[in-house]
């Protein structure tokens, strides 16, 4: 972890304060009037939040989707790469979502997008836009039903076990809306780890 300037200045400030109070006490004991000189301190410069702090996140979750009112059960694998900029995080996210319908049709969603999140303590809330490909394996014959997709998502996460400034094991919830010729709605709950 990169120590901040304030982190370096704090011990200096404490040492100077202790030295100053010690001199003052000695002066009072001797009965002499001593004009205390202001303590020579290194100005404490409070730095802003870290910029460009790289973060990597991996999520795995269960997703429930709906296409033409047909429910789709799916797994959601997400890889996010980005950075923390103060109280904001932004980056890119790659998602792969293999699924299956009640009748047994296999579906696959692959999406790449950008996200922006606000950090509120252990919560992160945000969303983004994404593009990708959605396909359904046919039960009959021929190539898959497949189309390019575009959409948006909303994401909330909570750091269950923080283990560094940015790293944590977190719980994540996500809502998605994609255009695949019709609206493909989705909701995901999962666990992730951020480094």
Partner 1 sequence: MADLLPSPRIRRHTWRSGATLTAGVLVAVALSCAGIREDEFDCESAVAHLSDCCPQFNAQLVDCTYQAPQACGSPVYPDLGVAQSNCIRSESCETLRSSGVCTRAQSLPLDGLTEDSGAPAPVVCP
Q: By the criterion CB under 8 A, which residues form the site for partner 1?
A: 46-49, 51-52, 67-68, 70, 85-88, 90, 101, 103-105, 113-114, 129, 131-132, 134, 136, 138-142, 145-150, 179-182
Task: Tell me how far, at minimum, the Cβ of 65 lies from partner 1, in Å.
Answer: 13
CA-to-CA separations, 137 to 27, 84, 87, 188, in angstroms, rounded: 88, 39, 42, 22
CB of 51 to partner 1, least distance (A): 7
Choose between 170 and 178: whose C-beta lies nearer to partner 1: 178
Question: Shortest distance, CB of residue 128 to partner 1, whole angstroms?
Answer: 8
3-state secondary structure of 28: helix
**CA atoms of 18 and 27, how far apart (whole Å):** 15
Q: Which tokens belong to 85? A: 């900029």
Q: Which of 136, 71, 79 is nearest to 108 (CA)?
A: 136
CB of 150 to partner 1, least distance (A): 4
Which of 15/182 has CB closer to partner 1?
A: 182
Cα angle: 115, vertex 66, 89; to 5 degrees: 10
């Amino acid at each position: 972890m990169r120590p901040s300037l304030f982190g370096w200045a704090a011990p200096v400030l404490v040492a100077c304060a202790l030295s100053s109070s010690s001199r003052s006490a000695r002066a009072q004991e001797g009965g002499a009037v001593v004009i205390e000189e202001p303590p020579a301190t290194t100005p404490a410069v409070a730095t802003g939040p870290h910029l460009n702090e790289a973060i990597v996140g991996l999520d795995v979750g269960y997703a429930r989707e709906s296409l033409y009112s047909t429910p789709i059960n799916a797994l959601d694998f997400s890889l996010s790469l980005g950075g923390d900029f103060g109280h904001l995080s932004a980056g890119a996210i790659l998602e792969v979502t293999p699924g299956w319908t009640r009748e047994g049709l296999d579906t696959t969603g692959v999406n790449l997008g950008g996200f922006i999140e606000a950090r509120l303590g252990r919560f992160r809330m945000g969303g983004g836009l994404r593009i990708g490909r959605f396909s359904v394996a046919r039960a009959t014959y021929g190539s898959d039903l497949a189309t390019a997709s575009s959409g948006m998502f909303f994401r909330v996460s909570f750091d269950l076990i923080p283990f560094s400034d940015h790293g944590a094991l977190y719980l994540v919830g996500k809502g998605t809306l994609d255009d695949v010729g019709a609206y493909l709605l989705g909701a995901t709950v999962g666990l992730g780890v951020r480094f």
